[in-house]
Amino acid sequence: EPEVTQTPSHQVTQMGQEVILRCVPISNHLYFYWYRQILGQKVEFLVSFYNNEISEKSEIFDDQFSVERPDGSNFTLKIRSTKLEDSAMYFCASSPRGGEAEAFFGQGTRLTVV
Partner 1 sequence: AQSVTQLGSHVSVSEGALVLLRCNYSSSVPPYLFWYVQYPNQGLQLLLKYTSAATLVKGINGFEAEFKKSETSFHLTKPSAHMSDAAEYFCAVSPGFQKLVFGTGTRLLVSP
Query: Which residues are near partner 1 by CB under 8 A?
Result: 4, 31, 33, 35, 41-45, 48, 50, 55-56, 58, 91, 93, 95, 98-100, 102-108
Residue closer to partner 1 by CB (options 8, 16) is 8
DSSP letter string over the chain? ----EEE-SEEEE-TT--EEEEEE--TT--EEEEEEE-TTS-EEEEEEEETTEEEEE-TT--TTEEEE--SSS-EEEEESS--GGG-EEEEEEEESSSTTSPPEE---EEEEE-
Shortest distance (Å) from residue 110 CB to partner 1 = 9
Residue closer to partner 1 by CB (options 29, 86) is 29
Shortest distance (Å) from residue 73 CB to partner 1 = 19
3-state secondary structure of 93: strand
Shortest distance (Å) from residue 84 CB to partner 1 = 22
Shortest distance (Å) from residue 9 CB to partner 1 = 9
Residue closer to partner 1 by CB (options 66, 107) is 107
Among the listed residues 70, 114, 61, 63, the one whose alpha carbon sits nearest the alpha carbon of residue 90: 61
Residue closer to partner 1 by CB (options 65, 105) is 105
